Structure 1
Amino acid sequence: MSETLIRQAGVLGGTPRDVAVKDGVFVDPGEVDPGGAQTRVIDAEGLIALPGLVDLHTHLRQPGMEQAETVLSGSQAGAAGGFTALFAMANTQPVADSVGVTDMVHRLGQEAGYVDVRPIGAVSKGLAGEELAGIAGMAGGVANVRVFSDDGHCVSDSLLMRRALEYVGTFGGVIAQHAQDPRLTEDAQMNEGALSSRLGLAGWPAVAEEAIIARDILLAEYTGSRLHICHLSTKGSVDIVRAAKARGAKVSAEVTPHHLLLTEDLTASFDPLYKVNPPLRQEDDAQALRLGVADGTIDIVATDHAPHPSESKDCAFDEAAFGMLGLEVALSVVHKALVEPGHLDWAGVARVLSTTPARIGGLAGYEEPCGLGRPAHLTLVDPDATREIQMRYSRSGNNPYSHLTLPGEVVHTFFGGTQTVSEGAVVAPDALRGGPR
């Protein structure tokens, strides 16, 4: 039997109160003996208690690209950032387009033990966009896959997208689309505009994203199935989603931390750290994204954590890989971009970083933050801390925030009652499992 009593935490930023965990679930504090030999007492005065964070868009790279990240290292990075569940994208090697691969990724997550790793299955075989992947097998496997995406590639074929939506609609699944018209973005390197022209880099027009979003919303309305839009990056995309929701379309949308805070001006340095897909946009786009989160048009913040080995970023801009790290810094970016300006309160942070992504992904246990009898997924944050951003746990170093000092720091994380982060440090594997075996 294990017990933890957390003293005077501000649950969702509210009035401080005691929170208790016993045998992996939240219980009434009166059920825990603060002087018991098996009870750990944590002084949480000044800390904010949030439900464990849930990332609907993570690249863990395993199998096949372990030099960039593994399920273990990505899980540790996630725990350090306050996450207790990660949805792992399918663009691995081999691609997660079959039950064998998705169940393996799920098992690796269980063996790591830091977070709940939920594989996302590919929409098409090999991400080739030509033939549907083994969706039924993945949905019926041990991993119980409910989200499907070819992220990194757009499902550009309209008929294939229609069939995928129809298929997942039979069991309540969701298609997560990487909205990028491939013909409009051939050789594109950064946002299309005056700056791309001045830098001599091929431009990536906003319409390449917006056209796919508009098409897929119409297909979702036609089929009656659920559509999720990955990494919105333009003001026009926000407007399209807002109008669709007003019509009652079954569409949800996400924004990344980097699109909320960073802009295309950073690419003027030709530093490949700022090369990402979709590209960093202009400040008016970032402002529209922030307002879209504030009014609920954008449902969630998802990291699109995309680790790369140094050789993929330490090269010329036009040769570098797309992508940025995000797991260890997401909460601080949300704090800076959304909480400090007043767009969200801490209950809103819980909504966009925990309860709503869990609902979209079909993940149970996050419906009521700190609810009695619920699994004890919990993140304790010091809102008054500031820190220079260093990535301590990912295997990769493509950190676009190293020039910034950001607010907030995760002090403790609990996954199902097990403490995975203590005093800001990830718990060692042996300690996590109760000692050497």
Structure 2
Amino acid sequence: MSITAFCNATLVCPVAGVRDGGVLVRDGIIVAAGTIDIPADADVVDCAGKTLGPGIVDLGVFAIDRHAFRTGGIVRVALMPDGRPVLDDPGVVQRAALIGKPDLWIHPIAAATRGLAGAEMAEMAICASAGAKAVGTGKGWIADSGVMRRVLAYARDLDIAVVAHAEDGGLTQGAVATDGETATRLGLAAAPAIAEALAVARDLMLAEDTGARLHLRQVTTAAAFDLIRAAKRRGVAVTCGITPAHLHLSDIAVSDFRTYAHLSPPLRAESDRQAALAAVADGTIDVLASGHDPKGPEEKRLPFADSTPGMAGAETLLPLALMLVRDGRVTLDRLFALLAANPARVLGLDTGTLEPGKAADLMLFDADTPWQVDGTAFSGGGANTPFDGLPVQGRVLRVWKGGREI
């Protein structure tokens, strides 16, 4: 039996709030939090007044990047199906679910359709039995409403969520930016922001009709947030997420053809960015994720229209998220609901808090450590961050998975 006592910490828990105290872990499971009695045979970790919280559950990454995840305090990731090969086969899903253990738990999101082509449904039930925790449409939209309805109905019967990309592909095909002044001035192929609201409206209606659980991975426009608020009031089982990029940057960030700011969905107008901040504050947004999608120079150092969208977001997720706390948008415990408890709930995982009985997936961090984002210094596999040069605060110090330091 192994016993570890974490003492002299500022605890942050989405359920119990923020308080001073400690955490007692026995055989990888939290047995007490707050004021604890330390057994004589316990290994003691002095947190020196730093903040101890649940490890991050990152919902929707596109690559397994162990060093970046460890640096970012991420202990579990939900892997998107857009890999090579696509996660539409139970053997591939099972392998993906096992390759990270014990240091990193990977929860595959299986492809909803074969090859993510949006036509023939994949073997969702078999993939779920192989370890998939959700099914998803990947980076694209299922244009056929009949197929999407069948996906949602089948997922409802399996009691797993459908993770959907919310952009109408008929409007966004070939586009690399959001229609507006910036795209017009730069001569970039652009799609109207309403492409998102159109996709959200259809998928919400289908989710309401089938009773399925729908998670919209990234929602970035005011019109879409209004639709989601109304759906939640009606009792639709919908959740939505966002990345720090769409909270802290607008389409102005691409003004000098910065390919590191070429994202999917593209950066939006400042009015939509402000709407996103309001949606975080009022609880419309449930999940804050990194959208980690590292790209090499061969994919980014190209003309903007030819570059590949994506950003390396794992190592900057925590400091960029802490900006929301410092700006008074959310409390620290609510932030960890966005980073850990809520994504765990979407995936059906019993983790993401410091409650007794939960796995001891813990992160110790200093919320005040200042540093400057430098993509070339990242420990992971990509330097493509649109936040290069930005001064931030907050560093992960130590990480434990199941009570074992990694």
TM more than 0.5: yes
> Which of 349, 359, 363 in structure 1 is aligned with 2:349?
363
Given that residues 6 and 19 in structure 1 are in contact (C-alpha distance below 8 angstroms), is that contact kept between their aligned partners in structure 2?
A: yes
Partner-residue secondary structure (3-state), 2:319: helix
Which residue of 1 is the match for residue 51 of structure 2? 48
Report how many residues are paired: 397
Indicate the residue corresponding to 1:6 in structure 2.
6
Q: Is the 8 A contact 1:121 1:147 kept in 2?
A: yes
Aligned to 2:388: 402
Aligned in 2, Cα 1:172/1:269: closer, same or farther, shift over 3 Å?
same
Structure 2 counterpart of 1:39, from 29, 43, 67: 43
Number of the residue aligned with 2:340: 354
Does 2:274 correspond to 1:287? yes
Cα-to-partner distance string for 1:23-49 (whole Å, 9 max, x where unaligned): 21223442433xx5x72422331x222
Deviation at 1:385, TM superposition (A): 1.0
Is the 8 Å Cα contact of residues 162 and 215 (structure 2) preserved in structure 1?
A: yes
* Alpha-carbon shift at residue 157 of structure 1 (Å): 1.0
1:23 and 2:10 correspond: no
* Residue aligning to 2:312: 325
Residue in 1 that maps onto 2:213: 226
Contact 1:308 1:396 in 2 (8 A): yes
Structure 1 residue 334, shift from structure 2 partner = 1.1
Which one of 75, 89, 93 corresponds to residue 84 of structure 1?
Answer: 75
Whole-angstrom distance in 2 between the partners of 1:197 and 1:54: 38
Corresponding residue for 2:249?
262
The offset of 1:280, in angstroms, is 0.8
Partner SS state of residue 100, structure 2: helix
Q: TM-score, normalised by structure 2?
A: 0.94
Aligned with 2:389: secondary structure? coil
Structure 1 CA distance for aligned equivalents of residues 19 and 341 of structure 2: 20
**Which whole-Å CA distance do the structure 2 matches of 1:146 and 1:371 have between them?**
22
1:119 alignment counterpart = 108
Q: Which residue identity lines up with residue 32 of structure 1 in the other structure?
A: P
2:290 is aligned to 303
Q: Which moved more, 1:19-28 or 1:298-307?
A: 19-28
1:244 maps to 2:248: no
- Percent identity between matched residues is 34
User: Residue 340 of structure 1 corresponds to which residue in structure 2?
Assistant: 326
Distance 1:117 1:198, change over 3 A: same
Q: Does 2:401 align with 1:415?
A: yes
Do residues 387 (structure 1) and 378 (structure 2) align? no
Deviation by residue 1:48-74 (Cα, 9 ceiling, x = unmatched):
2221111111111xxxxxxxxxx3xx1
CA deviation digits over 1:97-142, x for unaligned, max 9?
01011101111112xx32211011001100111100110110112x
- State how far apart, in whole Å, the 2-side matches of 1:356 and 1:43 are: 26
How many angstroms does 1:150 deviate by? Answer: 2.1
1:87–1:118 CA contact under 8 A, matched in 2: yes
> Is the 2:177–2:183 Cα contact (8 Å) retained in structure 1?
yes
5+ residue gaps, structure 2, are none
Q: CA RMSD in A?
A: 1.5
Shift of 1:264: 0.8
Cα gap change, 1:174 to 1:84, in 2 (>3 Å) = same
1:223-275: per-residue Cα shift (whole Å, max 9, x none)? 11111111111111111111111111111100111111111111011111000
Scaled by the length of structure 1, the TM-score of the pair is 0.88
Matches within 5 A, 1:60-99: 60=63, 71=64, 74-99=65-90
Q: What SS class does the counterpart of residue 7 from structure 1 fall into? A: strand
C-alpha deviation, 1:197, in angstroms: 0.7
Larger deviation, residues 203-212 vs 158-167: 203-212
How far apart, in 1, do the equivalents of 2:357 and 2:206 lie?
Answer: 40
Any conservation in 2 of the 1:76–1:114 contact (CA below 8 Å)? no
Q: One-letter code of the match for 1:418?
A: R
Alpha-carbon separation, structure 2, partners of 1:84 and 1:196: 38
Cα distance in 2 between the residues matched to 1:404 and 1:227: 34
